[in-house]
Chains A and B, each alone.
Chain A
Amino acid sequence: AQSVTQLDSHVSVSEGTPVLLRCNYSSSYSPSLFWYVQHPNKGLQLLLKYTSAATLVKGINGFEAEFKKSETSFHLTKPSAHMSDAAEYFCVVSFISGGSYIPTFGRGTSLIVHP
């Protein structure tokens, strides 16, 4: 069975400190992996994606994620948090079924940034 787990429902950091949002997946094959961000009362915006090329993926706004097959993880990081990073972050795994690639969402991690 395919699944995605975000290990923390909330992460709280101070502005200027590093951010780590954790994501683990379960898949019988090498999946496509994504991180999306949702600011309050907004839609979902793609931060970055992994598609079996480089294992370290760079995204927008200084975010990165590293695919580790041995750990079935795809954690999201940023060296220095900014107040504007406060949002909900979703790890997404794309599974193929019925001819479609189905985006399957983790429960989300709320990032709180303190001044």
Chain B
Amino acid sequence: DAGVIQSPRHEVTEMGQEVTLRCKPISGHNSLFWYRQTMMRGLELLIYFNNNVPIDDSGMPEDRFSAKMPNASFSTLKIQPSEPRDSAVYFCASTRDRVGTEAFFGQGTRLTVV
């Protein structure tokens, strides 16, 4: 398996624009997580899905953030409109829901909002 695949790897956008980050989890994994990493706050869990269903989005910072998982092999995280404080590295991870199994992370998307 190719691992968790995120795209794009880098995104530079202007304030106010819509940004869509994409994630393809590992086949057979039934939980998917979106994290945001910043110097100030470290790694924060934004939202997670189980069997394509959003379970907990309490980590989503504002209504400008939304996430979907239309099928088992694809998820998106959208920011609309984007703001400079959204600049961060966004990671997607997937797991097979069994005790003791680790999460596999994508390479991340580095978002810069200018």
- Chain A positions near chain B (C-beta within 8 angstroms): 32, 34, 36, 42-44, 46, 49, 51-52, 90, 92, 94, 96-108
Contacts and interface: CB of A to CB of B under 8 A. Distances in A.
B43 to A, nearest CB: 4
A48 B102 CA distance: 9
Contacts of A42: 107
Given A43-B91, A52-B100, A98 B55 contact: yes
Contacts of B45: 102-105
A99 B102 contact: no
Contacts of B100: 32, 49, 51-52, 94
Given A42-B107, A107-B42, A101 B31 contact: yes
Nearest to A46: B102
Nearest to B48: A100
Decide if the interface of chain A is mainly helix, strand, loop or mixed. strand
Contacts of B106: 43
B56 interface: yes
The 7 tightest CB contacts between A and B, nearest first, are A51-B100, A98-B55, A44-B105, A105-B43, A100-B31, A43-B107, A103-B103
B93 interface: yes
21 contacts: A32-B99, A42-B107, A43-B91, A43-B106, A43-B107, A44-B93, A46-B102, A94-B102, A99-B50, A99-B97, A100-B31, A100-B48, A100-B50, A100-B55, A101-B31, A101-B97, A101-B99, A104-B45, A105-B42, A106-B42, A107-B42
